[in-house]
Amino acid sequence: GEDVEQSLFLSVREGDSSVINCTYTDSSSTYLYWYKQEPGAGLQLLTYIFSNMDMKQDQRLTVLLNKKDKHLSLRIADTQTGDSAIYFCAESSTGGYNKLIFGAGTRLAVHP
Amino acid sequence: GAGVSQSPSNKVTEKGKDVELRCDPISGHTALYWYRQSLGQGLEFLIYFQGNSAPDKSGLPSDRFSAERTGGSVSTLTIQRTQQEDSAVYLCASTRNHRGGDRDQETQYFGPGTRLLVL
């Protein structure tokens, strides 16, 4: 079945780059997503990548997709304390609608 | 315009009671999704609505869970005879369209969630 896995915790120093990794199982997923969840808030879509791309850059965010290994990563350049949150990787399911399959989330802690 | 809203934001109930959780999607969004986020877990899909019909209820954990949507807008998730394992954050999302539209039409916008605690 469909499954998405992420490491649970990442700690970085302010100003460094953060790299959050994710693996997925459904090779037919059309889109892969990164969502951010801050304490007490809902999920905010950060970025997405189409499955026929291998890289997407959006300001401080870089998404890399290795479709052969079913590996997705999110790089945050110049990480700030405001980036501290839980980051969820998600794949869109097969079928006629956009049900998302989420990983358990990676908690990013940014320290001075 | 306004985003997805959910109410209540927090709900504490006793085991065995029924609860109703409400989701008000973005105006004009035809697709609506319910997810559950248990402590330390990712989001678990519960149910999907297209308009007022629910083509996929496969994620509902048991027959104590039901959901409806009326007027193609507001949705209510009902949990009967709540159990402690139902404690979680229940999140709702909406999209302008189902798959087949452009990427913006398929982007899911999430509400802030309802935090349910069953004692």
Residues of A within 8 A of B98 (CB-CB) are: 96-98
Query: How close B73 comes to chain A (CA, Å)?
Result: 18
Q: Report the distance separating Cα A6 and Cα A13, nearest Å.
A: 20
Residues of A within 8 A of B112 (CB-CB) are: 40-42
pLDDT score for B35: 95
Q: Is A45 on the interface with B (CB under 8 A)?
A: yes
The 3-state DSSP class for residue A108 equals strand
**Residue B105: is its pLDDT beyond 80?**
no
**Residue B1: is its pLDDT beyond 70?**
no
Q: Is A97–B107 a contact, with Cβ atoms under 8 angstroms apart?
A: no
* B28-79 pLDDT, tens digit each: 898 999 999 988 777 899 999 988 888 889 899 999 999 999 888 999 999 9
* A54-95 pLDDT, tens digit each: 999 999 999 999 999 999 999 999 999 999 999 999 988 655
Alpha carbon distances (Å) from B29 to A15, A90, B94, B109: 39, 21, 6, 10
Residue B69 tokens, joined: 């949507």
Residues in a beta bridge with A92? A100
Residues of A within 8 A of B45 (CB-CB) are: 99-101
Q: Are A7 and A104 in contact (CB under 8 A)?
A: no
Residues of B within 8 A of A3 (CB-CB) are: none
Residues in a beta bridge with B97? none
Among candidates A45, A48, A105 on the partner chain, residue whose Cβ is nearest the Cβ of B42: A105
Residues 6+ apart with CB under 8 A from A57: A63
